[in-house]
Amino acid sequence: GGEDYEFDYDGGNSSSRLFERSRIRALADEREHVQKKTFTKWVNSHLVRLNCRVNDLYIDLRDGKLLIKLLEILSGERLPRPTKGKMRIHCLENVDKAL
């Protein structure tokens, strides 16, 4: 009866906390999406000089080759040539050159 109902019902606290947490997560995800889109546009505004473009920051900059090109554009300096190859070690080497 009534006792079971009172025991199960917590005044809405846990469900409202759950909603709040999921809302905060959604807002954080949205902010990350907007930042990624904004930074992608900024990167492309520079890479356009080399007729290059980035579609997905995380994928397209991962091998370090476009990152090196971007840094050359921004700094006006020549950086070491990127290492050829698609293996993880080659990607890490290129990112290291960019750093």
Rounded Cα–Cα distance for residues 10 and 19 (Å): 15
Residue 8: predicted pLDDT: 56
Residue 14: predicted pLDDT: 82
Residue 50: predicted pLDDT: 93
Residue 99: predicted pLDDT: 85
Rounded Cα–Cα distance for residues 76 and 47 (Å): 13
* pLDDT < 50 positions in the chain: none
Residue 15: predicted pLDDT: 85
Q: What is the CB neighbour count within 10 angstroms for residue 79?
A: 14
Residue 17: predicted pLDDT: 87
- Rounded to two decimals, the pTM is 0.72
